[in-house]
A and B are shown apart, each in its own frame.
Chain A
Amino acid sequence: MLFFKRQLPLAIAFFFGLVGFFAQYIPHHSFEMLYNELISWVRLLYAFALILGTYSLLRLHSKRIERKDAGYGYSLVLWAGFIVTFAAGMYNEGRGFLAGQADTGMLMWIYDYIFKPAGATMFSVLAFFIASAAYRTFRARTPAAAMLLISAIIVMIGRIPIGDMISEHLPTLASWLMEVPNAAVKRGIFLGVALGVVATSLRIIFGIERAYLGGD
Chain B
Amino acid sequence: MSRKPRNTLISAILVTLLSALLSQSAFSQDGPLPQLMPYPVNTQIEVVTPPPSPLLPVEKLEAYDSPDDSGNAIILAWPIPGDEKPEQKYIIEAASDQSGPWRQVATFNASTSFKADLPRAFTWNSTDLKTMHAIEINMAPPTKAFRDMLDESNYNKTLKLKETLKQIEDSIKDMAQAEKDVFADQIAELKQEIIDLENAAPVTVTLLDPDHYYHFRVIRSEGERLSPPVSVGVIPRGNWFDFGKLNNFVIAIMLAGLILFYVYRARKKPENIFIRRIPGLEAVEDAIGRATEMGKPIFFVHGLADMSSISTVASVNILGKITERVAEYGTAFKVTNKDPVVLAVSQETVKEAYLRMGRPDLYRDDDVFFVSQDQFSYATGVEGMILREQPASIFYFGYYFAEALLLTETGAHMGAIQIAGTDSYTQLPFFITTCDYTLMGEELYAASAYLSRDPKLLASLKGQDLMKGLIIIFILAGIILSTAGVEWIMHVMESF
Residue numbers of A with Cβ under 8 A of B are 21, 24-33, 36-37, 40, 42, 45-46, 49-54, 56-57, 59-60, 63, 70-71, 74, 115, 118-119, 122-123, 125-126, 129-130, 132-134, 136-137, 186, 189-193, 195-204, 206, 208-209, 211-216
Contact = CB atoms under 8 A, between A and B. Distances in A.
A110 B356 CA distance: 46
B219 interface: no
A164 B88 CA distance: 45
B242 interface: yes
Given A54-B370, A195-B468, A137 B433 contact: yes
A209 B454 CA distance: 10
Nearest to A214: B352
Interface stretch (B34-42, B130-138, B440-448): B440-448
Given A71-B384, A206-B263, A216-B452, 15 more contacts: A25-B241, A27-B241, A42-B308, A46-B340, A60-B369, A119-B374, A129-B406, A133-B430, A189-B425, A196-B441, A208-B259, A211-B349, A211-B448, A212-B317, A214-B348
Interface stretch (B157-165, B295-303, B457-465, B484-492): B457-465
6 contacts: A36-B144, A50-B373, A54-B370, A199-B259, A212-B345, A214-B320
A52 B442 contact: no
Contacts of A190: 425, 441
A52 B340 contact: yes
B321 A211 contact: yes
A26 B249 CA distance: 11
Nearest to A37: B144
Contact of B349 (A29, A30, A189, A214): A214
A59 B366 CA distance: 8
* Range for the number of chain B residues in contact with chain A: 35 or more
B310 A201 contact: yes
Given A27-B239, A199-B464, A125 B406 contact: yes
A74 B383 CA distance: 13
B353 to A, nearest CB: 7
B370 A56 contact: yes
A25 B406 contact: no
B256 to A, nearest CB: 5
Interface string B96-110: 000000000000000
B366 to A, nearest CB: 5
A60 to B, nearest CB: 5
A115 B376 CA distance: 10
Contacts of A57: 369-372
A27 B238 contact: yes
A27 B242 contact: yes
B238 A74 contact: no
Contact of A118 (B263, B308, B376): B376
Given A29-B70, A30-B238, A125-B406, A195 B349 contact: no
A90 B261 CA distance: 57
Contacts of A204: 313
A193 B345 CA distance: 23
Chain A at the B interface: SS class = helix
Interface of B: 68-72, 141-145, 210, 238-242, 245, 248-249, 252, 255-256, 259-260, 263, 306, 308, 310-311, 313-314, 316-317, 320-321, 337, 339-341, 343-345, 348-349, 351-353, 356, 365-366, 369-377, 379-380, 384, 388-389, 402, 405-406, 409, 412, 423, 425, 428, 430, 433-434, 440-442, 444-446, 448, 452, 454, 456-457, 460-461, 463-464, 467-468, 471
Contacts of A21: 252
A215 B242 CA distance: 37
A33 B146 CA distance: 10
Of A40, A130, A133, A214, the most chain B CB neighbours within 10 A belong to A214
A33 B373 contact: no
Contact of B239 (A28, A54, A212, A215): A28
A122 B352 contact: no
Contacts of B340: 46, 49-54, 56
Contacts, number: 223
A115 B316 CA distance: 30
Contacts of A191: 468, 471
Contacts of A30: 238
B166 to A, nearest CB: 27
Contacts of A46: 306, 340-341
Nearest to A197: B310
B255 A198 contact: yes
B429 to A, nearest CB: 9
Contacts of B467: 195, 199
A29 B141 contact: yes
Given A33-B143, A206-B260, A49 B242 contact: no
Contacts of B371: 57
B74 to A, nearest CB: 14
Of B337, B376, B406, B425, the most chain A CB neighbours within 10 A belong to B376
B454 A216 contact: yes
Contacts of B434: 133, 136
A133 B427 CA distance: 13
Nearest to B423: A193
B452 A33 contact: no
A27 to B, nearest CB: 5
A126 B142 CA distance: 46
Contact of B259 (A59, A129, A202, A211): A202
